[in-house]
Amino acid sequence: MSTPPTEPAVQPGPVLAVFAHPDDETLSAGGLLAQLARTAQVHLVTSNRGERGEVIPSDIAHLEGRPAELAELRTAELGTALAALGVTEHRFLDQLAGHTGPARYTDSGMRWDGTSRVRALSDPGADRTAFSKADPEQVAWVLAAHLRRLRPALVVTDEPDGGYGHPDHVHAARVTARAVRLAADPEVAVDGDPWWVPALAWIVRPASEVRTAAAWLQHSPARPRLSMMGRALQVVDAEGEQPTIVVPDEQVDATVDTSAVADQLLAAVRAHRSQVQEATLAEGAVPAVAAVPAAPAASAVPEAPAVPEAPAAPSARAHDPGAPPRPESVIGWFALSNDILQPLYNRAWLRADTSWCAPATLRTTLTDLTTASSAVGDLDGRTGPGQDGSAVDEVPRWYLTAMTAFTVVMGVIFAFAGTAFHRWTPPWGIIMALVAVAAGGVLARTFADRRGAVGYALAVTVTVFATTWWRPGGDVLVTAQPIGYIWLVGALVAGVVGMAAPKGWFRDEP
């Protein structure tokens, strides 16, 4: 789809998160949503109610295989989790205005790909109302209308392969990407005025962090060995197969520190007690801080039963001198129904959908939303915006190459014109010529940053020296007089003004 000729400026606004089931919002992006909810309004859209999920605790195990009852429980758990995260706005996809599909989208279920425990496949037994079977275009139109009403600054969802291939996750990511584009297209007859979402991002995890966290869990003497049901808890091989949410480090475009909301994240994880077990903060992972204020109740969802407190990690073993150091990004652990222990992170990592926005735009948007420039950076901790919180989109390489060539041509023209004109009505001719060359250097830097200024300065230098000895028709362009020496030296100085100008004048400087 072609993009509009101009994009609106990034501005702080609501955040929309789109995930498949109750608990995905917390396990994938809970820390991020809680952090953003402190300074922005966060909205969540969930595609279905997780009717086909497995159930862990024995006191509610009888609900597994009872779709209606399990859906009610998981909806209540979601309400409790959102209250902990501070997210007050939530709707299921089938509750959005304009929905014309089944009365309810249902959980599609899944099956594992052979012996793999990190790659899910579609379940052939999925009901016709399963979300993964919904017409993606039809659902995207409904979500696009919601986007136009909400007008968010940021949309967050799973990466295109759904984190680990679950059909509902994949479908949610596909529908969200399509909805963002429909909402921006003025030619599409979606309800509401067109809205260009500044940033569309996927939740990801850098491979180096995942491997380090898995290695720590594998050897940590403090981690639990048995589940609440007495089954052995395992840890995935740090060097083995990884789910698709794990990406090479260079594909992580933004990192958000969520340490300040660790307690909220833990409470939200524990709220999904039908799906999660052994959620615990490692001792010393979170410094003692003032109690987190109670979050407002989430709207449109019933209240779940109180969540029992999980025990803290054993202190005696936590300080075992033989244990590997805990990674800074890890604050604890939890396990799902597969009895595989996973790290609990105090970081959120995002990747920009580069077919929609540049990584710099994502970082700028996150910074605007969190109102703290130090809160957002890339994987190496570098912030996207400048010191004033501003930034510009990354531009294609071909554009910089073309603009650099243009600044060289501009340097030749300015230098030649100044050489031919500098002796006109002294001293006005030389003053105007030097000012023009200096202004051209600043203009060159705005076109192609420092490389443009360098190309321009070199072009001015070569052209001035070449024309100094050029005698068209026997005339000398630069005479061996004071005005000639002033031009010869002055032009070279004026040509580098663009390179010496303050960095703050130029928004495209790193």
Please give the Cα distance from 359 to 351 (Å, whole number): 7
Quickly state the pLDDT bin for 318 (edges 50, 70, 90).
very low
DSSP per-residue codes, 347-369: EEEEEE-TTT--HHHHHHHHHHH
Quickly state the pLDDT bin for 3 (edges 50, 70, 90).
very low
Calculate the average pLDDT of the chain. 83
Angle, CA 354 vertex, CA 452 and CA 387 arms, to 5°: 55
Please give the Cα distance from 118 to 273 (Å, whole number): 22
C-alpha distance from residue 270 to each of 37, 92, 135, 307 (Å): 19, 21, 34, 7
What are the CB-based long-range contacts (under 8 Å, 24+) for 66-70?
67/106, 67/107, 70/274
Residue 328 confidence (pLDDT):
93
Pick the CATH number of 15-204+247-292+347-377 from 3.30.1360.230, 1.10.8.100, 3.30.420.40, 3.40.50.10320: 3.40.50.10320
The whole-model pTM stands at 0.69
DSSP per-residue codes, 99-155: --S-SS-B----EE-TT-SS-EE--TT--TTBGGGS-HHHHHHHHHHHHHHH--SEE
Residue 6 confidence (pLDDT):
42
Residue 297: φ, ψ to 5°: -65, 140
Sketch the domain layout of the chain as residue ranges: 15-204+247-292+347-377, 397-505
Please give the Cα distance from 391 to 394 (Å, whole number): 9
pLDDT in tens, 55-100: 999 999 999 999 999 999 999 999 999 999 999 999 999 999 999 9
Residue 399 confidence (pLDDT):
76
pLDDT in tens, 451-493: 888 889 899 889 888 887 766 655 667 777 888 888 888 888 9
Beta-carbon contacts of residue 290 (< 8 Å; ≥ 6 apart): none
Please give the Cα distance from 170 to 317 (Å, whole number): 40
